[in-house]
Amino acid sequence: MSVQKWFARLETELAAHQQWLDSDSLFRIFGFGNALFEGLLDRFAPGSSQTIKGHDHAGYSNQGGRALARGTAYSAGAGNDGLFQCTISVSNTWTVADDDDNSDLQRSGNGLAMFKVYVSEGFTTGGSGPYLWGWVNVGFDVNGNNKTEDHQCRIYNATTASYSSEVTVQQTSTDFDQVRFSLIDIPMQPGWNDLKLELTCNLNHVSAITYCTTYVCFSEAADSSGASVSSSGSQVL
């Protein structure tokens, strides 16, 4: 889709010194340029009145536009080798996803963020969003007894000192060894956010489960429907 804004009239003298560029092409270039100017800055283009509603990509600048979710804010994967590993040996005990990794390689154990995610200006989680949306893939080994279990995941944002909701995926078959978690309400604020992944399970049938996190992805979104909202967080785009 393209957005255009035209001058009411275009004097031919504006293009007369460039004979190789026809006036119609120049007319269109000015139209696209004006629309882009107004769309980005939410101000009228020079020499005209404003007709394009702007989007404020910088919520601190008070330009009156709306914050825009930019999609993927962070992603990482390591295939079958995995990013992190941890073992749950006590039922319903939350454990950091890299708890089994060597101490010199641990991020959480060395005061580092597991995921350092940059969030666009204008996105601060309030009572109803906006939020980061996360996908987490986790493989597991149930030490020889591949029985049904309830696997749980949550994200802690150390920057905002708050948690996402806890997500549970019930393993209803003994034929698979990985789960995918969808987290729709990870709290965030503009700038850098330090996130930590935590896992647990109910250990209904086994004494321990070892988890291997293979892929994570975090995206900017507004609420459970994934809609972007205005800078005030109250109006859906």
Class (C level, CATH) for 72-221: mainly beta
- Give the C-alpha separation, 223 to 132, whole Å: 8
Residue-level pLDDT at 146: 54
pLDDT score recorded for residue 199: 94
Series of mean pLDDT values for 10-residue runs along the chain (237 residues): 49 53 73 76 70 56 57 86 87 89 74 86 72 88 63 94 92 72 89 93 81 91 48 37
Predicted TM-score (pTM) above 0.85 = no
CB half-sphere exposure, 81, CA atoms < 13 A: 4
Residue written as tokens 């920057």?
159
Question: Nearest CA to 177 among 220, 130, 138, 135?
Answer: 138
pLDDT of residue 95: 92
* Helix-, strand-, coil-residue percentages of the chain, each rounded to 5: 15, 35, 55
What are the two backbone dihedrals, phi and then psi, of residue 20, each rounded to the nearest 5 degrees?
-75, -10
| DSSP assignment of 55-115 | --S-GGG--S------SEEEEEE-GGG-SEEEEE-STT--EETTTTS-TTT-SGGGT--SE
Going from N- to C-terminal start, the domains of the chain cover: 12-54, 72-221
* Residue 237 confidence (pLDDT): 36
Half-sphere exposure of 1 (CA within 13 A, CB side): 2
